[in-house]
A and B are shown apart, each in its own frame.
Chain A
């Protein structure tokens, strides 16, 4: 539906030719005006297209933001063990839909003029809350879609590559330690037998037999044997687990060689996770062995014994008999020292925590990281600053993995200066955002930022006009009178437009039409007819609904001296006088509900004259016989007494 001046070569005003007379007599001014109208008509034709672009963008970004937020929240909620039925899904859908719409609405209302401070702040707060919901769940969703799979597989590959190298070295070392322990045990048994036979194994000739030296070496051989019997199965267990890990790594390599068509992502993840789990368990077992108190005691004993056998002046006293003897043997000392060194240098295998590969768990982990980072400043205020170092955090992760892998053998981990609570806190320190979270988080922020901008653009007053008006209000700028606003001069000067003056106001250099929407004014014929005019103007793209509050409209109408305000006040005063409710006479209410709810203060709504259209509308009325009007084919004109 378009106005005649929005069509080329058309003019549907049937009244035009009634005053047409001679178009040439309109003069050069009208011709110039007509030429200018051609350009304005082109701009007006294009206006609906440009006006719809921000709305289109808003719809697009609201939809995208909604999809990300809804899917993310749904995945997080579905990651729990409880069933999540269709009602739950519908609830999440409605919740996120409402959240997204409220976010867009709060943006569009945030900069609306005429709002006082606290209502505006409540809108800002609403936007911030809804934005946090949208960004957090959107980030978790984008993480799952963009990064989780790559990250999990990449981590597993890197981890297993390192582990394969380390496990080979560790296995060799463990085999050497085991061999040394066995040799030591064998040597001590042989030493005891040789002492009994020859009596020359303790640095001095004793004559052999079952003397105190022989009994000492036999007892020491028994202790060594006990030590070997204790450590050998543990080391063997670690080696067995290492063997399993190496087999898993072979599986990983085998599946890695397959193409994407031959193996599903789920199968790939299962193999990776099995390998990583086996590796973690082997590493944890070995570390638990290396750091166990029994091994530490063994190491201490071995070092002590090595020192004793290396000391030629050490005189021993046999318990029970009180016999005094010396036993100096550098070979034994060296072997004991070597075994102690091997045990002290048990290898450390890398332990890693792999992220979830995909799905709800990955979304939940990402959400945890986001909120962990976001709440870090507040936790810092409550719990004090965290002073843990990177090494401490790594150590905490390692201990946590040991605790998970070994279950009951957690005492060793917690007994070395870190309580289980401290370990938990330090492990939680790993849950913050990481470098590879930047892309999904940035994507969520960009989408919501674009939603913000498009919501700002799509306001009835277009683009940043609302923001501009708010800033002007804050700066206390003065309004310009109607006559000085472009195109509006005729409202004051032309008597044909005097009827509009009570309804027209300016607001920061833009001309608006105020339409009464409540009260007695709406019952007046003038208001009803103005509403008809408004609907026709709106259909003809002359005016557009504007986001100006009723209070602002009333203030502006009052500033230009509109009689509507006086009539509005009169009718309101009369309505209040007729109200039966009198506050000072009101007895105690029998009902908790008030007798009368507060009335809405929306007495007017505003419509803004679109750029250029206002001038054309005025010109159309001023110069009804514009060139081209006589060519209108369907413009009827019924002269009085037309032939029937």
Chain B
């Protein structure tokens, strides 16, 4: 069964460095390349969780953990610059995608920490975004059903997303409603 955690348990639960460390330790055991990545779904690089993850890119790289992100809009090229600074310019453009599909506002913010944990926040059409402490962190464990589902959800959304355009223009379909 899926492992779940309550929001109030996050304070006492593992922090991002702890989870990243677990990903690094599972490097030898995991069979799937997505198990060694941090995968982010957010409205824009300006959201709280996105800024936090981007700020930790050097930490991810130091642990041997990759990074992928899906946004509904790119606010400038900061995210590409941040990724390029850590992983290289060539890789940066393949690391970020922009999604523009119907009902994308109903998607919740999501961070897959390999197959170790899944973090979920607010819907993308909410007025505000959730900080890491405000979301739900579910320690899934490798091979758990929630880990498989979150990995497949990210990868499926990745397939219908597009590489950022040169001008990195905003997506149009997202409608912001009150959270």
Q: Judge whether A531 and B149 touch: CB under 8 Å.
A: no
Instruction: Indicate with 1 or 0, residue by residue over A606-644, a CB within 8 angstroms of chain B CB atoms.
Output: 000000000000000100000000000011111111111
Q: Measured between C-beta atoms, what is the minimum distance from B169 to chain A in Å?
A: 17
Minimal Cβ-Cβ distance residue in A for B41: A532
Binds A, one of B10-18, B44-52, B73-81, B158-166: B158-166
A525 near B103: Cβ-Cβ < 8 Å = no
Looking at A530, A641, A643, which has the most chain B CB atoms within 10 Å of its CB?
A641
Which residues of B from 55 to 93 have beta carbons under 8 Å from A?
61, 63-68, 85-88, 91
A624 to chain B: closest CB distance in Å? Answer: 9
Does A418 belong to the interface (CB within 8 Å)? no
Among the 9-residue stretches A12-20, A40-48, A217-225, A244-252, the one with 4 or more Cβ atoms under 8 Å from chain B is A12-20
Which of B92-137 touch A at CB < 8 Å?
94-95, 100-104, 106-108, 110, 118, 120, 136
Which chain A residues lie closer than 8 Å to B163 at the CB level?
Answer: 634
Closest chain A residue to B66, Cβ basis: A638
A128 partner residues in chain B, CB cutoff 8 A:
none
Q: A524 with B4: in contact, given A18-B32, A636-B68 (CB under 8 Å)?
A: yes
Name the distance in Å between A37's Cβ and chain B's nearest Cβ.
15
- Nearest CB of B to A614, in Å: 13
The smallest beta-carbon distance between B173 and chain A, in angstroms, is: 11
CB closest residue in chain A, given B108: A528
A19 touches B160 (CB 8 A): no
Could you tell me which residues of chain A, from 340 to 393, have a CB within 8 Å of some CB in chain B?
Answer: none
Task: Please report the C-alpha to C-alpha distance between residue A635 and residue B66 in the assembled complex, in whole angstroms.
Answer: 14
Q: Does A537 contact B (CB under 8 A)?
A: yes
A526 interfacial contact with B, CB 8 Å: yes
| B37 & A529 in contact (Cβ 8 Å cutoff) | no
Number of A-B contacts (CB under 8 A): 140
Which residues of chain A (56-114) have a CB below 8 Å from chain B?
none
Point out the residue from A529, A535, A537 that lies within 8 Å of B120, measured CB to CB. Answer: A529
Of the candidates B31, B37, B65, B85, the one whose C-beta lies within 8 Å of that of A19 is B31
A1 on the B face (CB < 8 A): yes
Complex CA–CA separation, A637 to B67 (angstroms): 9
| Chain A residues within an 8 Å CB radius of B19 | none
On whether the beta carbons of A18 and B33 are closer than 8 Å, the reply is: yes
Quick check: is A491 within 8 A (CB to CB) of the other chain?
no
With a cutoff of 8 Å between Cβ atoms, the chain B residues found around residue A4 in the complex are 159
CB distance from B172 to the nearest CB of A (A): 13
The reply to whether A640 and B149 form a contact with Cβ atoms under 8 Å apart is no
- Residue of B24, B27, B32, B136 near A15 (CB, 8 A) is B32
Complex Cα gap A532–B122 (Å): 12
Say which residue of A528, A532, A638 sits within 8 Å of B157 (CB atoms): A532
Of B27, B91, B138, B146, which is within 8 A of A638 by CB? B91
Whether A644 and B2, one on each chain, are in contact in the complex, defined by CB atoms closer than 8 angstroms, is no
Which B residue's beta carbon lies closest to that of A530?
Answer: B149
Asked if A422 is at the interface of the complex by the 8 Å CB criterion, the answer is no
Identify the interface centre among A496, A525, A621: most chain B CB within 10 Å of its CB.
A525
Report chain A residues within 8 Å CB of B63. Answer: 640
Whether the pair B64, A15 counts as a contact (CB closer than 8 A) is no
Contact B110 A532 (CB under 8 A): yes
- Find chain B residues with CB under 8 A from A526 CB: 2, 4, 145-146, 149
- Cβ contacts B134-160/A at 8 Å (1 or 0 each): 001010000001101110111111111
Bitwise interface map of A from 512 to 525 toward B, beta carbon under 8 Å scored 1, else 0? 00000000000011
- Asked if residues A15 and B94 are in contact (CB atoms below 8 Å), the reply is no
Decide if B68 touches A644 in the complex (CB within 8 Å): no
Tell me the nearest residue of chain A to B95, going by C-beta.
A636
Query: Would you give the shortest CB distance from A616 to chain B, in whole angstroms?
Result: 12
Could you say which residues of chain B place their CB within 8 Å of the CB of A314? none
B36 interfacial by beta-carbon distance below 8 Å: yes
Q: Is the beta-carbon distance between A15 and B145 smaller than 8 angstroms?
A: no
The interface residues of chain A lying within 8 Å CB-to-CB of B149 are 499-500, 526, 529-530, 533
Q: Does A424 reach chain B (CB closer than 8 Å)? A: no
A1, A13, A499, A540 pick with most chain B CB within 10 angstroms: A499
* Pairwise interchain contact B66-A640, C-beta atoms closer than 8 A: yes
- Is the pair B146, A15 in contact by a Cβ cutoff of 8 Å? no
| Complex Cα–Cα for A334 and B103 (A) | 103
Kindly state the separation between the CA atoms of A640 and B67 in the bound complex, as whole angstroms. 10
A580 to B30, CA, bound (A): 50
A539 at the interface (CB under 8 A from B): yes
From B1, B4, B31, B101, contact of A535 by CB (8 A): B101
Complex Cα–Cα for A496 and B64 (A):
25
Closest CB in chain B relative to A350 CB, distance in Å: 68
Tell me, in angstroms, the Cα distance from A489 to B24 when the chains sit together.
Answer: 35
- Kindly list chain A residues whose C-beta atoms are within 8 Å of the C-beta of B66: 637-640, 642
Please determine whether B102 and A539 come into contact, CB atoms closer than 8 angstroms.
yes
Q: Is A470 an interface residue (CB 8 A)?
A: no
Residues of A within 8 A of B155 (CB): 13, 15
Contact A642 B91 (CB under 8 A): yes
Contact B88 A642 (CB under 8 A): yes
A536 within 8 A of B: yes
Complex contact B88–A644 (CB within 8 A): yes
The reply to whether A538 and B102 contact each other, CB–CB distance below 8 Å, is: yes
Q: What per-residue 1/0 map shows which CB atoms of B20-40 lie under 8 Å from chain A?
A: 000010010001111011000
B85 with A644: CB separation less than 8 A: yes
Partner among A524, A530, A638 whose Cβ is within 8 Å of the Cβ of B153: A530
Given contacts A3-B159, A621-B152, whether A640 and B104 have CB atoms under 8 Å apart is no
**Interfacial chain B residues near A621, Cβ < 8 Å:** 152
Confirm or deny: A498 has a beta carbon within 8 angstroms of a beta carbon on chain B.
Answer: yes
Complex CA–CA separation, A525 to B159 (angstroms): 22
A540–B101 Cα gap in the complex (Å)?
9
Q: How far is the CB of B117 from chain A (nearest CB, A)?
A: 10
Q: Give min CB distance, A635 to chain B, whole Å.
A: 7
A640 adjacent to B27 (CB under 8 Å): yes
Contact present for B159 and A536 (CB under 8 Å): yes
A551 to B156, CA, bound (A): 29
A498 contact set on B, CB distance < 8 A: 145, 148
How distant is B72 from chain A, measured CB to nearest CB, in Å? 11
Query: Are A499 and B148 also in contact (CB < 8 A) when A532-B153, A535-B101, A536-B101 are?
Result: yes
B61 touches A535 (CB 8 A): no
Q: In the assembled complex, which residues on chain A have CB atoms less than 8 Å from the CB atom of B104?
A: 535
Contact A12–B146 (Cβ < 8 Å): no
**A16 closest partner in B (C-beta):** B33
CA distance A427 to B165 in the complex (A): 77
Chosen A-B contacts, 20 in total, with CB atoms closer than 8 Å, are A12-B158, A13-B155, A13-B159, A14-B33, A18-B32, A19-B32, A500-B149, A525-B118, A525-B146, A526-B4, A526-B146, A529-B150, A530-B153, A531-B106, A531-B108, A533-B156, A535-B157, A640-B66, A642-B87, A644-B61
Apart from A529-B150, A636-B94, A644-B88, 10 more pairs, CB < 8 Å: A13-B159, A15-B33, A499-B2, A499-B152, A524-B4, A535-B101, A535-B104, A637-B33, A640-B27, A643-B88
**3 residue pairs, one from A and one from B, having the closest CB atoms:** A638-B66, A18-B33, A640-B64
Q: B residues engaging A (CB < 8 A)?
A: 1-2, 4, 24, 27, 31-34, 36-37, 41, 61, 63-68, 85-88, 91, 94-95, 100-104, 106-108, 110, 118, 120, 136, 138, 145-146, 148-150, 152-160, 163
